[in-house]
């Protein structure tokens, strides 16, 4: 007999609806260019700040909640766009998702900044566990794992890594699926970290405007960064096809 899920109580449904409203109001404030604060969110919901404290007890809790939900929603949109390619084509899916990630960062720079303004290194252990649950991090690294399964691109052996890096891949503090990767293959996580730093680096430069505006508008720096990573990921023989997909995505309005 299948397990029947216990229906949520009315109180639980109301509480969940309140959290949804907190996120929606916060997203609206960010889109409008207003300051995100507990007082502003409470006012937008028509409640007092003390009443809001029953749901988020501090500004940091507000940021963590909103960042997690915005990241989850954005990742779902990228995944939906990428799903026009079949599951057995993770390279095409990753190409689409990376380009949609860039577009989100350029069109919603305050959401992007909020989501990625919570450094893992500065968090306490409880918040660090939360931050490593980032939906986008898991989505991108899962696609990289699928690519590795298909193309078996090389990665460094543990003994060839700097001791600090070796420790970080054996006990990773990054939003990545890693439990399924055998200990001896954890050098793959170093590829994850380097690939993410390349993607995040160029997108951050563009989103914050710390780049020649002509280069941002053309998308050429982002394009070159993505294409530079085809060979390390064993995709050099797919260059023509993936370049076509990349250019189609960059040309979308």
Give per-residue pLDDT as tens, 149-196. 999 999 999 999 999 999 999 998 888 888 899 999 999 999 999 999
- Same-domain check for residues 22 and 87: no
- Share the mean pLDDT of the chain: 90
- Same-domain check for residues 50 and 171: no
Predicted local distance difference test score (pLDDT) of residue 99:
98
- Same-domain check for residues 27 and 112: no
Q: Residue 64 domain-assigned?
A: no
Give per-residue pLDDT as tens, 22-71. 999 999 999 999 999 999 999 999 999 889 999 998 998 898 889 989 99
Lowest mean per-residue pLDDT among 1-10, 104-113, 172-181: 1-10
Task: Residue 29: give the domain boundaries.
Answer: 1-57
- Same-domain check for residues 37 and 143: no
The last residue of one of the domains, among 57, 83, 104, is: 57
Q: Residue 243 domain-assigned?
A: yes
Q: Residue 65 domain-assigned?
A: no
Q: Residue 217 domain-assigned?
A: yes
DSSP the chain: -PPPPPPPPHHHHHHHHHHHHHHHHHHHHHHHTPPP-HHHHHHHHTS-HHHHTTT--SHHHHHHHHHHHHHHHHHHHHHHHHTTS-TT-HHHHHHHHHHHHHHHHHH-HHHHHHHT-S-GGGS-HHHHHHHTT-HHHHHHHHHHHHHHHHH------GGGS-HHHHHHHHS--SSS--TTS-GGGTTHHHHHHHHHHHHHHHHHHHHTT-S-HHHHHHTHHHHHHHHHTTTTTT-GGGHHHHHHHHHHHHH--
Predicted local distance difference test score (pLDDT) of residue 182:
94
Query: In CATH, what number is assigned to the domain containing residue 84?
Result: 1.10.357
Specify the number of domains making up the chain: 2
- Same-domain check for residues 129 and 48: no
- Average pLDDT (127-132) is 52
Predicted local distance difference test score (pLDDT) of residue 125:
52
Q: Residue 7 domain-assigned?
A: yes
């Amino acid at each position: 007999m299948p397990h029947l899920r216990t229906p949520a109580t009315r109180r639980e449904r109301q509480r969940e609806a309140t959290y949804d409203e907190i996120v929606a109001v916060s997203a609206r404030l960010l889109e409008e260019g207003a300051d995100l604060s507990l007082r502003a969110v409470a006012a937008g919901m028509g409640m007092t700040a003390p009443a809001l404290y029953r749901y988020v007890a501090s500004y940091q809790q507000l940021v963590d909640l909103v960042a997690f939900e915005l990241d989850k929603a954005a990742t779902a949109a990228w995944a939906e766009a990428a799903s026009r390619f079949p599951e057995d084509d993770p390279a095409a899916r990753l190409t689409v998702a990376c380009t949609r990630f860039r577009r989100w960062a350029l069109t919603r720079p305050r959401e992007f900044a909020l989501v990625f303004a919570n450094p893992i290194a500065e968090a306490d252990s409880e918040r660090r566990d939360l931050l490593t649950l980032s939906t986008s991090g898991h989505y991108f690294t899962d696609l990289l794992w699928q690519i590795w399964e298909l193309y078996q691109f090389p990665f460094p052996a543990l003994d060839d890594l700097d001791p600090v890096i070796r420790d970080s891949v054996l006990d990773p503090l990054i939003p990545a699926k890693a439990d399924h990767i055998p200990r001896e293959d954890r050098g793959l996580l170093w590829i994850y970290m380097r690939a993410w730093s390349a993607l995040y680096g160029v997108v951050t430069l563009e989103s914050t405007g710390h780049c020649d505006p002509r280069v941002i508008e053309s998308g050429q720096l982002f394009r070159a960064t993505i294409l530079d990573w085809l060979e390390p990921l064993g995709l050099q023989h797919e260059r023509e096809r993936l370049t076509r997909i990349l250019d189609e995505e960059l040309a979308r309005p």
